Amino acid sequence: MDQETRGPGRTGKRAPYANGAKKRAELVEAAFRVFAEKGYLGLSIRQIAEAVGTSHTALLHHFGSKEALLEAVLVLREEREGPWRQELISEKGLLETVPAVMRHNAGIRGVIHLDATLRAEAISPDHPAHHFLLRRNQDFVDSVQSELERELAAGRLREGFPPAVLARQITALVDGIQLSWLYDESVDMAEHLQGFMDLIKKT
């Protein structure tokens, strides 16, 4: 949650996670792999700990709660994929990037499953991951919207459809299609997003 910018703990005493940051990072990494490979099927922290190779209390020592661990996994994913997405956007533009992201997501089912589950669980404002997920979603909407404004200014979009609405539609479509796909993998996520891009493109 609150990992302020702070150099790798040289002093080794004052700050929490001064040396523990390394161990913590390993655990998140391992947990990420467990989710990505074995999927998210209502795993208890005891099961996660076993798959990762520690005790469940050790996990809690580093993360404080189960939800905090789950959130840390999603943060890791964001850190890992954010730059890659941004690069792809500036290379190929938004209209090609979104379907490409969907193709990529089809390869990390467990993480997408975790994402969908946590997002529904965290609807209540007092859920520990609520604000993180709300912010992440809003950031995504904002980033899509600014790209849409660029495309619109370049004359590549149909007129009369406000980017703010289109941005939220795209975001919602991603969420909804991922849910559909989690229920039935024969749903082609990229195709459905590509279809939407074709709808808003100037003919």
Partner DNA sequence: GTCTATACTGTGATAGAC
Partner DNA sequence: GTCTATCACAGTATAGAC
Is 72 one of the binding residues for a copy of itself (CB under 8 A)? Answer: no
**Nearest CA to 44 among 55, 33, 30, 28?**
55
Q: DSSP states of 100-151 as a string? A: HHHHHHTT-HHHHHHHHHHHHHTTSTTSTTHHHHHHHHHHHHHHHHHHHHHH
From 62-70, 72-80, 92-100, 156-164, give the range in contact with DNA by CB under 7 A.
Answer: 62-70
CB 73 within 8 A of CB 32: yes
Q: Dig out the tokens for 58 from the structure.
A: 């050790």
192 φψ region: left (φ > 0), alpha (ψ -120 to 50), beta (else):
alpha
Work out what residue 179 binds among DNA, a copy of itself, none; the CB cut-off runs from 5 to 8 Å by kind.
a copy of itself
Question: Per CB under 8 A, which region of 7-15, 61-69, 75-83, 166-174 contacts a copy of itself?
Answer: 166-174
Binding site for DNA (CB under 7 A): 9, 12-20, 23, 43-47, 54-58, 60-62, 64-67
What does the binding site for a copy of itself look like in residue numbers (CB under 8 A)? Answer: 41-42, 113, 116-117, 119-121, 123-124, 130, 133-134, 137, 161, 165-166, 168-169, 171-177, 179-180, 182-184, 187, 191-192, 195-196, 198-200
